[in-house]
Chains A and B, each alone.
Chain A
Amino acid sequence: MPDDPQLPAAIFEQVLTEARGLGVQDIEAIVAGGSHALTRFANNTIHQNVAERTAHLSVRALIDGRTARASTNRLDGAGIRDVVEQAVAITKLTEPDPDRLPLAGPIECAPLDRFDERTAFVSPQERARAVAEAIQCVEAAGQTAAGIYSTDLSTFSLLNSRGVSVSYTETLARFSITAMASDSSGWAKASACRVRDLQPAELARQAAQKAAASRAPSELAPGRYTVILEPAAVLDLVGQMFGDFSSTAIRDGRSFLNDRIGRKLFGANITIADDARHPLQSGAAFDGEGVPRQRLALVEHGVVREIAYSRQAAVQAGVLPTGHGFPLPNEIGEAPMNIVIAGGAASVEQMIASTERGILVTRLWYIREVDPYEKIFTGMTRDGTFLIENGAVIAGVRNFRFNQSLIELLSNVEALGPAVRASGEETFDMVVPAMKAHGFNFTEVTRF
């Protein structure tokens, strides 16, 4: 565990004392920190190699319906005093909100163990050795490697003057690699709370295989195609919609679920939950006010069922909070952050074998929202895009731009793979399956 697990409570004691001295009764503190190290490589050599140690105190005061936050990374006595004074001073200058709730009280929350001693203390030498081995795998294929190997230790504690005192410690390791041949590339990435669950050399081999298989890509005309999206592609695209499963987003009129809750929006084979306690998930068991995260059945057999409620949103809606609120004050409200999309039994190989003509997609890139209500997103394929004909991958193809409605995509799914923890670059890690879907809308093709 981290050096001093008693530190957050000791810091909060001083926060409380300083606040009381200023006549403020309601005070909340977040004490967060950690150490983060990342070894980065490109052109088959380590070119950036960094480590950082950070600590952070954020204090929120609540005075007569007013609230504001001040933060610092000076955690000595003077730093703590100054940040409490600042939080109180700016809180007094904000406008009161008659709907503002009092601070949350304590709720029993079973802890989650996502700390791994070995991951917390991986040395630069260990990372460098694993990177060297991965580079060798790619070099052996006559290709060039680029990527990262990172190991993080993060701690987060939330305490308030009404007795909330919750803490969470997590380790996380990530390995990502791009293998580049003369006119093609391949990519693989994984993350895990325990470094022993990562296999850098195996990921390197997968990336090199994709780069080799997509050599001399041909250009296909844009249009509607059957696609097989590998888990990272599903994650980065479908993962864009979950901020809308929020009571506040619906109330604001910015969610595509306005007037759609309870409706069958997707295919009957789509079931999605938010589950912080899923064994492949990461993250704390409580939200930004210390409320335990509840499991949410977001989508059941294509029907939108449940959404997230912060404490404030729950009061407005007359329901119980679900434990998905962000630290206050904020404008967003809440969102599910531990997405699990139920999988199926089909492997990617079986999906390919069952496809007469289609596109296999490794990864998607630069995904942005085009239409917020129809949930149309644009983006590009990247690092391994293949043509499938008559049940086999026959060639690499140049990368496509897509403009695709997620509502339509999730209505067109024909097969699902087993759900796995996936890691991409466009959204946070989730547990998702590979998907085969028809009618995917590729609108343009690029030059490589």
Chain B
Amino acid sequence: MKDLALSALDAVARRGVSYADVRALEIREREITTKNGKAGHVSGAESFGLGIRVLASGCWGFAATDDLTRDGIAAASELAFQIAKASSAAHKHDVQLAPEDKYEATWVSPCRIDPFTIPIDRQLASLLAVDAVLRRQTGISLAETSMHFERRRQVFVSTLGSVIDQMRYLSGAGFSALSYKDGEIQKRSYPNSFGGQYQLKGYELVDELRLLDNAPRIAEEAVALHSADQCPEGEFDLILDSSQLGLQIHESIGHPIELDRVLGSEANYAGMSFLTLDRLRKLRYGSELVNVVCDARLEHGPGLGTFAFDDEGVPARSTDIIRNGQFVGYMTSRETAAQVGDERSNGCMRADGWARIPLIRMTNVSLEPGRQSLEEVFDAEHAIYMETNRSWSIDDKRYNFQFGCEIGWEMKRGKRVRMLKNPSYSGISTEFWNACAAIAGPEHWTLWGVPNCGKGQPEQVMGTGHGASPARFRKIRIGSAYAG
């Protein structure tokens, strides 16, 4: 791989570019699902290719190929160069890059059990056992389970002289139970919706999730929701479990702090951001309790945004985003760091495979744990507690959001008094975070994986990490999804 990457870099560097980098990527994936007692999608996939990025005539060009012959690499190199030259037809200023050092490094993400060494029949049997427990509950119409594994080895080389070899193992697993009854569909998922939990781990993640132990409760809740009361509409204190709070962080903090979005690069598709440059270090984003970091280092945990170097050769860093409620930082690239006068990129450039150009993407954007006990978080006179995301939507500048959850409970003085179906809440990002009244401590903090974050044109799907503990928010608008 290193030789292929270097030969492509050599082919393009000879053309007189001001900068170039090449990523050679080998990806292996395994997907196993079950549905109502049968094997569903069982598949393995591998992919190998090169992405060549060049800076010439002050413009970027990028070409990717899976034709790894000498001719194929030469053609892709030529194409990347020609694309950069063509870009000068609509070009206002030369791209400048913040400085970066040369690195030679090899890194492998921690993986106790290589998931590809576990036979598929054993993995399938584990899922079918969960599936059987779910369907034992009367009223379950659809039981689904899944496991997903990836191994990605990437060799990055650049005209700075960097040669960085990284291997990342990713695992994910989860299940859901759906119940259709009398014109109503209810669903519960574990440990999270949309496929469960994903982390930068090996098969040990599946063992840690205790899927089978949780299956009876989840199936029972899916059916019980039909008899639950509709979530009321109005202003209430809101308590969120850590998985829902993880998605709240993703949408209302993670995306707005992408500096390429702030500067307009995503205006046609993903949108822009309310966090304009004049708000840095001036905006009160949250209450004093709110501290958020963007941290790709392994010390932060095995998140989907954990790595040693980003996809333009910048070392993993931790950046303060919100400190004691104050907005203090963006996620940057070498190009955007130079645009705003930062000395260095903070290492957030990531690409979805070899065929895509790196973009600023969330790494692990996490809410630091608070000092309250779980009892103190729940200790409100009257509140609504919600678990597990069901729907999510936010405007294209990231002000107004609305989330729905799979299940809720009305709480009085820390006690659950009734189950609520179809819970939802909405608000404005900064108002929501300023209403944060309590955050549970580190023993309740979980680093969640969001495996399906979309951005860019052509669209790239990226895995991001979000750590959170359960937290309470004052006077939030509840029930708006069913209003009117």
Measured CB to CB, the residues of A under 8 A from B are: 36-55, 58, 66-74, 83, 86-87, 90-91, 93-95, 97, 123-125, 127-129, 131-132, 135, 144, 146-148, 150, 176-178, 180, 185, 187, 223-224, 252-254, 258-259, 329-331, 365-373, 376, 378-380, 382, 399, 401, 403, 425, 441, 443-448
B92 at interface, CB cutoff 8 A: yes
Contact for B400 among A37, A131, A369, A446, CB less than 8 A: A446
Contact for B394 among A42, A58, A366, A445, CB less than 8 A: A366
B355 at interface, CB cutoff 8 A: yes
Supposing A51-B64, A380-B400 touch, asked if A369 and B178 sit within 8 A by C-beta, the answer is no
Which residues in B have their C-beta under 8 angstroms from that of A331? Answer: 33, 35, 40-41, 144
Which residues in A have their C-beta under 8 angstroms from that of B86? Answer: 39, 49, 123-125, 127-128
B484 touches A93 (CB 8 A): no
Min CB gap B450→A, angstroms = 14
Min CB gap A418→B, angstroms = 26
- Name 8 extra pairs, CB < 8 A, besides A43-B92, A95-B124, A373-B183: A47-B265, A50-B83, A51-B62, A54-B66, A94-B42, A132-B90, A150-B457, A368-B404
4 closest Cβ contacts across the A-B interface? A253-B180, A253-B141, A124-B86, A128-B89
Residue of A nearest to B267 (CB): A146
- Enumerate 6 A-B pairs (CB-CB under 8 Å) in ascending A order: A148-B269, A180-B264, A330-B40, A373-B183, A401-B426, A446-B400
A176 touches B185 (CB 8 A): no
Contact for A44 among B90, B268, B391, CB less than 8 A: B90
A93 touches B124 (CB 8 A): yes
Supposing A144-B264, A447-B400 touch, asked if A48 and B62 sit within 8 A by C-beta, the answer is yes
Which residues in B have their C-beta under 8 angstroms from that of A367? Answer: 393
A129 to B89, CA, bound (A): 6
A148 to B265, CA, bound (A): 11
Within 8 A of A (CB), among B257-311: 263-269, 271, 274
B263 touches A43 (CB 8 A): yes
Contact for A42 among B179, B185, B268, B356, CB less than 8 A: B268
Which residues in A have their C-beta under 8 angstroms from that of B119? Answer: 93
A45 touches B179 (CB 8 A): no
A95 to B122, CA, bound (A): 11
B204 at interface, CB cutoff 8 A: no
Contact for A68 among B43, B84, B399, CB less than 8 A: B43
B64 touches A124 (CB 8 A): no
Which residues in A have their C-beta under 8 angstroms from that of B60? Answer: 47-49
B482 at interface, CB cutoff 8 A: yes
B59 touches A401 (CB 8 A): no
B42 touches A51 (CB 8 A): no
Supposing A53-B65, A370-B482 touch, asked if A131 and B422 sit within 8 A by C-beta, the answer is no
A253 touches B93 (CB 8 A): no
B376 at interface, CB cutoff 8 A: no
Residue of A nearest to B484 (CB): A441
A380 touches B396 (CB 8 A): yes
Min CB gap B428→A, angstroms = 7
B104 at interface, CB cutoff 8 A: no
Residue of B nearest to A369 (CB): B391
Interface centre among B92, B141, B402 (most CB of A within 10 A): B402
Min CB gap A48→B, angstroms = 6
A42 to B359, CA, bound (A): 14
Contact for B39 among A86, A97, A135, CB less than 8 A: A97
B319 at interface, CB cutoff 8 A: no
B393 touches A366 (CB 8 A): yes
B229 at interface, CB cutoff 8 A: no
A368 touches B355 (CB 8 A): no
Which residues in A have their C-beta under 8 angstroms from that of B180? Answer: 253-254, 258, 373
Supposing A46-B91, A176-B268, A253-B142 touch, asked if A95 and B483 sit within 8 A by C-beta, the answer is no
